[in-house]
Amino acid sequence: QFNPNYASGRTTMVHLFEWKWDDIAVECENFLGPKGFGGVQVSPVNENVVAASRPWWERYQPISYLLTTRSGNEQQFADMVRRCNNVGVRIFVDVVFNHMTGDNVNARGTGGSTADPSNKSFPAVPYSNLDFHPTCSINNYNDKYEVRNCELVGLKDLDQSKSWVQDRVVDFLNHLISLGVAGFRVDAAKHMWPEDLEKIYNRVNNLSTTHGFDTGARPFIFQEVIDLGGEAVSKNEYTNLGVVTEFAHSNSIGKVFRGKDQLRWLINWGPQWGFLNSDRALIFVDNHDNQRGHGAGGADILNYKTSKQYKMASAFMLAHPFGITRVMSSFAFDNTDQGPPTTDGQNIASPIFNDDNSCSGGWVCEHRWRQIYNMVGFRNIVAGTAIQNWWDNGSNQIAFCRGSKGFVAFNGDSYDLNTSLQTCLPAGTYCDIISGVKSDSGCTGKRVEVGSDGRATISITQAEEDGTLAIHFESKL
Ligand code: ARE
Ligand code: CA
């Protein structure tokens, strides 16, 4: 439950928010597999309410556990999981079982099921009002009973202590395991009692050996618990059950790279910042909520719109050994309710790929930005090494080695960085994987000359597109 079950040599998942299953299958084969991504978090797979104007958040309002959504049907989902596993990329499903939909008259689901949410009747599961907590709303996050037994933004709150509810959820999760998924993001885990979750997790099957997992492998479980301190529910209540989303990481990295804190303080990045231990922390720069002002962190959170700082924060997260890393991949938005790009206002459109790997057609595809996918590769290559030779200039210029396998430098000051630093790498010429890529003909970016003493002149001017430089032993020319 703590192991992402990645194929060997891989370390990082990407959240392909609102992508269609057919598109994810192709992306695994053409891009994620070759570039070394370990897995994909997919949007909720089970039937959700069809909401007017099709906001992204309709997928967090379940109608049933049929696997039909705007991303595709069960057969397309199963095909995607199989094809991604075949190229070493795992699938993690965002599972929503704290609640069903909000009040809604004549609700219709993406799979054609109907429900009467106002009377807590969901015949396609089936659930009746006996399966839910009595109606009350969550107003006071200092009361853990209210947080767990009342309705989050009016969503009908399931009672996970009931055996009928446990059975339905376990069946749903086991169905997904039988199709070859590697684990789950548990939505709104904070709003469920840890003892109920424990009962459910304990009944979930081992991963499917017919899909290539080791005998006895447990599904990876990462639980969405927002804990920035000062509330009744603590992230520590969940760490014996699985990994937990570390929102303090998202919040702090946003502050640092927005200039509200100095980069030199990153020297003790990790639990000393109040984060969970590394093996329990699912970390990210932004998620699908806080990139648009939902969830936690407010204006300190970075997203694709502030691209230079966003790429620097992502590079730091991926270069630093702390945590289990997740990269966000977004669609462009102007307002916080806006759903994904569509062909006709209803059906989700596929991303369009440009020659430089980037996306268009309304998709941002941060995971296809060179500065991000090359750092996913960096993390794979330096895995297992520690930070050494930390350097800083006393403010916002920092650099460190990862063992003798990689070196990274950041310039967050408004003046140039140009100095001789220890890279810990063998002598030679290296290609900076932030400003370019190593290619057959050499390097499309900056070159770094490492001397026999391991030192090199490192330059990141204040005017450069990116404030990061990274080299590793496979970027040697
Ligand atoms: C939508 C409408 C609502 C409407 C409701 C029911 O926006 O106005 O009342 O439907 O009709 C997402 C959206 C919601 C959306 C919901 C259902 O964000 O806007 O409601 O889908 O469609 C808390 C929870 C945390 C949750 C965040 C958003 O603790 O679990 O709120 N995050 C997950 C998902 C979301 C999703 C849900 C849960 C629901 O990632 O995408 O909601 O499935 C402090 C607290 C946090 C709290 C935060 C915000 O920071 O510490 O615990 O997070 O405030 O309230
Ligand atoms: Ca609840």
Q: Could you report the per-residue pLDDT of 189-213, keeping only the tens digit for each? A: 999 999 999 999 999 999 999 999 9
Distance (Å, rounded) from C-alpha 138 to C-alpha 147?
Answer: 6
Query: Nearest ligand, CA of residue 160?
Result: 2
Which among 150, 159, 152, 156 is positioned nearest to 131, based on CA atoms? 159
Q: What is the pLDDT of residue 441?
A: 78
pLDDT in tens, 213-241: 999 999 999 999 999 999 999 999 999 99
Segment 420-432 shows an average pLDDT of 98
Q: What is the pLDDT of residue 5?
A: 98
Q: What is the pLDDT of residue 39?
A: 98
Question: Per the CATH hierarchy, to which homologous superfamily does domain 12-382 belong?
Answer: Glycosidases (3.20.20.80)
Q: Is the CB of 224 under 6 A from ligand 1?
A: yes
Classify the complex by whether its ipTM is higher than 0.85, answering yes or no: yes
pLDDT in tens, 117-170: 999 999 999 999 999 999 999 999 999 999 999 999 999 999 999 999 999 999
Q: For residue 296, how far is its CA from the centre of ligand 1 (angstroms)?
A: 10
Q: What is the pLDDT of residue 296?
A: 86
Q: From the alpha carbon of 190, which atom of ligand 1 is closest?
A: 29
Mean pLDDT of the chain: 97
Residues forming beta bridges with residue 363, ordered by sequence position: 331
pLDDT > 90? residue 266 = yes
Phi, psi of 90 (to 5 degrees): -85, 155
Q: Is the CB of 377 under 6 A from ligand 1?
A: no
Q: Is the CB of 297 under 6 A from ligand 1?
A: no
Q: What is the pLDDT of residue 105?
A: 80
Q: Token pair for residue 421?
A: 């630093």
User: Using CA of residue 469, residue 472, residue 474, residue 477, what is the dihedral sign?
Assistant: positive
User: Among the listed ranges 71-80, 97-106, 124-133, which one has the minimum average pLDDT value?
Assistant: 97-106
pLDDT band at 295 (very low <50, low <70, confident <90, very high): confident
Q: From the alpha carbon of 58, which atom of ligand 1 is closest?
A: 22
Query: Nearest ligand, CA of residue 337?
Result: 1
User: Using CA of residue 222, residue 224, residue 229, residue 231, what is the dihedral sign?
Assistant: negative
Q: What is the pLDDT of residue 104?
A: 85
Q: What is the pLDDT of residue 449?
A: 98
Choose which residue among 15, 47, 50, 57 to substitute to test ligand 1 binding: the one with the highest number of ligand atoms within 8 A of its C-beta: 57
Segment 444-451 shows an average pLDDT of 97
Extended strands (E) in 252-411:
281-283, 324-329, 352-353, 359-360, 387-392, 397-402, 406-411
pLDDT band at 106 (very low <50, low <70, confident <90, very high): confident
Q: Which residue has the higher pLDDT, 297 or 3?
A: 3
Question: Residue whose CA is closest, atom 15 of ligand 1?
Answer: 57
Q: For residue 459, how far is its CA from the centre of ligand 2 (angstroms)?
A: 52
Segment 314-324 shows an average pLDDT of 99
Q: What is the pLDDT of residue 440?
A: 84
pLDDT in tens, 34-66: 999 999 999 999 999 999 999 999 999 999 999
Ordered by start, the domain boundaries in the chain are 12-382, 387-475
Q: Is the CB of 55 under 6 A from ligand 1?
A: no
Domain 387-475 in this protein, CATH class: mainly beta
CB count in 10 Å sphere of residue 395: 12
DSSP string, 402-441: ETTTEEEEEE-SSS-EEEEEE--SPSEEEE-TTT--EETT
pLDDT > 90? residue 297 = no
Report percent pLDDT > 70 for the chain. 100
pLDDT > 90? residue 356 = yes
**What residues act catalytically?**
187, 224
Q: From the alpha carbon of 297, which atom of ligand 1 is closest?
A: 50
